[in-house]
Structure 1
Amino acid sequence: MFSAVRPSLPALLRFARTPSIGRSIVTLLAGAILLLLAVNVATFVMIQRTVAFNDQVERSQQVRGAAGALLISLVDAETGQRGFLLTGRPEFLAPYNRAETSVPEQMAELERLTAGDPQLEAHVAVMLEASRDKLAELERSVALSRTGRIGEAVQLVRSGQGRALMDTIRAQIGAIDEIEMVRLESRTRQSEYGSGLTLWANALGGLLVVVLAGIMIWLVRRYIGEIQEARDTLDRMNAGLETQVRDRTAQLTLARDRAEAMLREVNHRVGNSLQLVSSFMSLQLRHLADDGARSALKEAQARIEAVAHVHRRLYTSDDMTSVAMDEYLEGLVAELGQSLAPGAGAPTLSLQAQPLNVSTDQAVSIGVIVAELVTNAVKYAYRPGQGGEIRIRLEPDARARRALLTVEDDGPGLGDAKPKGTGLGGRIVSALAAGLGSKVEYDPDYAGVRARLAFDL
């Protein structure tokens, strides 16, 4: 192609020296450049507005999420308080104790997200004041109950003050949601308007460029048809490549955003579905009298909880390709403690986990392995009512990019060097460990049972 253009250069120079044709070419080129510049500026402005809109949407989601999390924590705290008042059992205060730590952090996060926003600050201020009053009301009732003044605590609950505060909090959250939804609708309309305007500007600019190019082609073909033909070919190729690159980039970006949104929604739905299955199992447990059936159902529930906890972690995390094992195991061990070893005299579960990130598939396998080993320890390590401790540790191996998981108890040991039970849990553990490229090893020199699993990060 360049060999065909080279012999036509002298003719191109003569063409440029022609006054009328040269001025027309320059004018048309200047007009085309200005049009392309205008289209590019409009596209750039639209991209910036889209980025700003996405930031605003993310912020709105964060505000609504923070407000919802605060409400959930307060509801959990109130549930724990009610359970404690009704039963007098301290373990019912676990949600209340967690809320004492999480609620101030959530209130601070909500204040940070709405700082400088006059519309939201007023509602947030009322909601935070009501939240503080609610925590104070819960604290007073719990303190009264702990000192034996149950009647006063119940009277405080019956006064309706707590319910009024919760209604105020819900009303403010509803107002915040309404403000954010109105904003989102307004911003969506603005974005759609801007997108339409940019589309029309691009179409008009492209049309005018085509018209100008046609006029240029008509003028040039009068004098140097061969050069113009080569130039037209190059122009069409460049225009086609730019359009393909731009369209492909837009398609890839849209596909990526949709994939991330769909993956987040899938994790949310899977986590909810698994939690629903676990809840059904809890209901079924209440109607089973057979100890073997109850034990099997509890083991299955622990496995489901291990998988569900991963999906809940992925739904609330910005990174959906890896799981922070220290946070994941903390939540999983807490759930196992509530489902497998509740009440006085049951073994206690302790966790020491250093911050490590693993893939989602590894997290599922490790979670189920922990659930199986802990379940086995709860069943066989200690006699009913004996108490005791089951320790879970996760630490990096300094010698290589590996991690070491240890689950141990102070029970009587394996005895015949074989895990007890039906063997299903052992087969599950072996299969999952093999999937991690490893196996679970039992320490024969340890007085109780110590299971270790080393796996690559």
Structure 2
Amino acid sequence: MNLVENLANAQTLAQAIVNTIPEPFLVLDGKLRVLAASRSFYSTFKVNMEQTQGQLLYALGDGQWDIPALRLLLETIIPEKTSMDDFEVEHDFPNVGLRTMLLNARKVLYDDSSSANILLAFRDVTATRIIERDKEQLQKRTDELLHQKQVLLQEMQHRVANSLQIIASILLLKARAVTSEEAKLQLRDAHQRVMSVAAVQQHLHASEGIDQIEVRSYLTKLCESLVGSMVGESQPISVTVEADVGMIVSADAVSVGLIVTELLINAIKYAFVAGRTDCQIKVSYEINGTDWKLVVADNGSGKAAEPVGRKGARLGTAIIGALVSQLDAQVSTVSSDKGMAVTITHATFISRLPLAS
């Protein structure tokens, strides 16, 4: 077999290899003229062999490949680096439309010749980029909606806080205006409960996130606020909080916060005789998976006659009962002359903390 036949066979083999490549593929000479093109190149860009082979790349398809980004790749980058991966080009091709292509180029140098070839492969990522842009726009729209939701939530919380303050002020004014001591007491109790709802709402508003609240921080701040507003110097009362670290959904946090507020107010107002100095209230919250247990205990005088509250707190008992029912929990009370402990338990729970004495 002579040299001419060997060369012809090599060209046939090279063309066969090029045609097996599923993506558009070109072999260029050193002057960027097309030596070979894959079948995929012809079908993708709607050109034929006669219009392609032997032609300058930039002249193909009436100049559709005369793209500044492609010139940069072939005339500047390839001579310096000899290769380039995933060079992205977006172009509106005649008879094809707008396409985004990733170009991979290799410069092939030969030991016995000063000539070189350039292998150029194209990968159409138009559909991928469209999906990515759609996802980006969707994410942007989602972020905008979340921001709007946050703004609306803050506005709603602000209005709720203002409304509660107005209601509390009206109740306090009515309490000062009436002459009946019983009516005064009921209006003041109503005022205190409205303020407790405002305290819960305030702490929920201050918490990070909307759907989940960190329970230890929430209960600690809530109790500190209530103690600061209700406990005076004439009879100091120590209030401690022991809570597991964990999250609670906002809806449940409202009910738990109102229960703690009601029980804490009840203990501060009724648990201790005047002049006592060792007054202690302990709030504990334990978590075990989806189960939890809340205990509010004091070392006061106790009161066995009331299932949850003490004398004058029957409304509080009804409120707590309704909130416990909403939480699908159970309430129990232990009362003696050493104090009182109210326990709210969700599902079956084995306590790790000692009972308050």
Which category of TM-score, normalised to the shorter sequence, fits these structures? 0.5 to 0.7
Q: 2:67 aligns with which of 23, 31, 42?
A: 31
Q: 2-side partners of 1:26 and 1:346: how far apart?
A: 92
Q: 2:48 aligns with which of 15, 18, 21?
A: 15
CA drift of 1:293 comes to 0.9
What secondary structure, in the 3-state scheme, does the structure 1 residue paired with 2:48 have? helix
Aligned residue identity for 1:371? T
Q: 1:262 aligns to what?
A: 148
Say whether the 8 Å CA contact 1:346–1:385 is kept in structure 2: no
Q: 2:333 aligns to what?
A: 442
Say whether the 8 Å CA contact 2:329–2:345 is kept in structure 1: yes
User: How many residue pairs align between the two structures?
Assistant: 257
CA-to-partner distance for each residue in 1:190-225, whole Å, 9 max, x for gaps? xxxxxxxxxxxxxxx96x514474699xxxxxxxxx
Structure number with bigger Rg: 2
What secondary structure, in the 3-state scheme, does the structure 2 residue paired with 1:16 have? coil
What secondary structure, in the 3-state scheme, does the structure 2 residue paired with 1:15 have? coil
Q: 1-side partners of 2:147 and 2:331: how far apart?
A: 37
CA drift of 1:333 comes to 0.8
Q: 2:92 aligns with which of 209, 213, 222?
A: 209
Q: 2:214 aligns to what?
A: 324
Stretches of structure 2 that go unaligned for 5 or more consecutive residues are 1-21, 23-38, 74-88, 100-123, 177-183, 350-357
Q: 2:202 aligns with which of 308, 311, 316?
A: 308
Q: 1-side partners of 2:215 and 2:97: how far apart?
A: 64
TM-score (norm 2): 0.58
User: Runs in 1 of length 4+ with deviation above 6 angstroms?
Assistant: none
Higher strand fraction (1 or 2): 2
1:83-232, aligned counterparts within 5 Å?
208-211=91-94, 213=96
Say whether the 8 Å CA contact 1:438–1:454 is kept in structure 2: yes
1:417-432, aligned counterparts within 5 Å?
417-418=306-307, 419-420=309-310, 421=312, 423-432=314-323
Distance 1:275-1:11 versus aligned 2 partners, 3 A rule = closer
Q: 1:358 aligns with which of 248, 258, 268?
A: 248
- Whether 1:294 aligns to 2:188 is yes
Aligned residue identity for 1:428? I
Q: 1-side partners of 2:167 and 2:203: how far apart?
A: 16
Larger RCO: Structure 1 or Structure 2 (Cα < 8 Å, ≥ 6 residues apart)? 1
Q: 2-side partners of 1:262 and 1:446: how far apart?
A: 54
Q: 1-side partners of 2:200 and 2:305: how far apart?
A: 29
Higher helix fraction (1 or 2): 1
CA drift of 1:351 comes to 2.1
Distance 1:29-1:392 versus aligned 2 partners, 3 A rule = same
Tell me the percent identity: 19
Q: 1:453 aligns with which of 335, 339, 344?
A: 344
Say whether the 8 Å CA contact 1:325–1:353 is kept in structure 2: yes
- Whether 1:391 aligns to 2:274 is no
TM-score (norm 1): 0.46
Q: 2-side partners of 1:10 and 1:355: how far apart?
A: 61
Distance 1:213-1:370 versus aligned 2 partners, 3 A rule = same
Distance 1:28-1:382 versus aligned 2 partners, 3 A rule = same
Say whether the 8 Å CA contact 1:16–1:22 is kept in structure 2: no
- Whether 1:253 aligns to 2:143 is no
Q: 1:273 aligns with which of 159, 175, 180?
A: 159
CA drift of 1:273 comes to 3.3
Q: 1:433 aligns to what?
A: 324
Say whether the 8 Å CA contact 2:242–2:283 is kept in structure 1: yes
